[in-house]
Amino acid sequence: MAHLGFIGLGVMGSRMVKRLLEAGHTITGYNRTRSKAQWLLELGMQWGETPATVAQAADVVLSMVAHTAALQAITGGTAGVLAGLRPGSIFVDMSTVSPAVSRTLAAEVAAIGAHMLDAPVSGSVITLEEGRLSLMVGGDWAAYERVLPILRDIGPKVTYVGKNGLAASMKVATNLSLAVQMLAFSEGVLLAEKSGIARETAVEVLLNSVIASPMVKYRGPFVLGLPEEAWFDVNMMQKDLLLALDMGRELDVPLPTTAVTNEMLTAARGMGLAEKDFAVVFEVLARLSGLTQ
């Protein structure tokens, strides 16, 4: 068992820590709002006053933060991860961030004599809690082999994709489909409903049809009622779609369905729905269709 550090104890990060504690690891954790981590402290997690303190206490430090700016905030400065890393340490960032920024940060970590891996995840709260989360990893192969048992304690499927930044790229390429699929599913439900079919019946049929991907199966029911706590809110999803659109422009890959879905998320924000789960695109489309929830 390893002594780990974990920075970012939000919806996903906190549940990852819980799994790691259950696997027997000792963990020093940090979150910007300590009160949100109280339940983990009661489970045995130790507290670090700063990201640097966490890095100093651990051989392997993991982070799961909201966006690129948040990653830069926890890594830079005298209280950041870089200030606490030691030669030989491994920093594993599991956030969905700019691949270019991830590569730059990896070079800064290497200058210390440590290693950085980008290891974003694919899945939701449900897949994480059920032990079905998948991870993709970019960076040094030897560092990857060292942390592989730890990552498998978070999720069973771990895939090495290549050098630093490539896992971040793969995650962006994956996440764009989540929102696009949710919008397409919403279109189907609303078309059926306005034809005279009950919404609940339309959802049941679609969830048992060939279009029912794993994501649609667990998020599709949200069109009947959103969760009180967003699994992945509009702002977070739009952040990922904007990363995808930036990559598309850079790599000359047209992303037409991503662009349209991004505009629907902008509409959701305009309707005051930014803090809702991104499945709220259904409500946006319903309002445009003349229907209400």
- Range of the structural domain that residue 154 is part of: 3-164
Q: What is the mean pLDDT of residues 158-167?
A: 98
131 secondary structure, DSSP code: T
Where among 164, 187, 209 does a domain terminate?
164
Same domain, 136 and 180: no
Same domain, 182 and 144: no
Per the model's pLDDT, the better-predicted residue between 125 and 83 turns out to be: 83
- Does 293 fall in a domain? no
Q: What is the mean pLDDT of residues 150-171?
A: 97
Give the pLDDT confidence score for residue 69 in this predicted structure: 95
- Does 151 fall in a domain? yes
Res. 168: pLDDT tops 60: yes
Among 74-78, 122-126, 129-133, the range with the most confident prediction by mean pLDDT is 74-78
Same domain, 146 and 175: no
Where among 134, 164, 194 does a domain terminate?
164
Same domain, 225 and 157: no
Give the pLDDT confidence score for residue 259 in this predicted structure: 98
∠ Cα 201 204 208 (to 5°): 145
Same domain, 94 and 176: no
- Does 197 fall in a domain? yes
- Does 16 fall in a domain? yes
- Does 185 fall in a domain? yes
Same domain, 150 and 12: yes
What string of DSSP letters covers 200-251? HHHHHHHHTSTT--HHHHHHGGGGG---SS-SSBHHHHHHHHHHHHHHHHHH
pLDDT-derived band at 94, boundaries 50, 70, 90: very high
Same domain, 139 and 253: no
Find, among 72, 7, 56, the residue nearest to 33 by Cα: 7
Instruction: Look at residue 137 and give its three-state secondary structure.
Output: strand
- Does 108 fall in a domain? yes
Res. 231: pLDDT tops 80: yes
pTM of the model: 0.90
pLDDT-derived band at 126, boundaries 50, 70, 90: confident
CA atoms within 13 A on the CB side of 43: 21
Res. 68: pLDDT tops 90: yes
CATH code at position 200: 1.10.1040.10
Same domain, 154 and 9: yes
- Does 209 fall in a domain? yes
Same domain, 64 and 127: yes
Same domain, 33 and 64: yes
Give the pLDDT confidence score for residue 1 in this predicted structure: 63
Give the pLDDT confidence score for residue 2 in this predicted structure: 76
Over the stretch 246-268, which tens digit does the pLDDT of each residue have? Answer: 999 999 999 999 999 999 999 99
- Does 15 fall in a domain? yes
pLDDT-derived band at 280, boundaries 50, 70, 90: very high
Give the pLDDT confidence score for residue 182 in this predicted structure: 98
Where among 164, 190, 207 does a domain terminate?
164
Same domain, 279 and 222: yes
Measured CA to CA, the distance from residue 188 to residue 266 in angstroms comes to 21
Res. 106: pLDDT tops 90: yes
Res. 201: pLDDT tops 90: yes
pLDDT-derived band at 293, boundaries 50, 70, 90: low
CATH code at position 148: 3.40.50.720
What string of DSSP letters covers 148-172? HHHHHHH-SEEEEEESTTHHHHHHH
Same domain, 68 and 211: no
Q: What is the mean pLDDT of residues 134-138?
A: 97
What string of DSSP letters covers 34-60? GGGGHHHHHTT-EE-SSHHHHHHH-SE
Q: Report percent pLDDT > 70 for the chain.
A: 99
Res. 107: pLDDT tops 60: yes
Count how many domains the chain has. Answer: 2
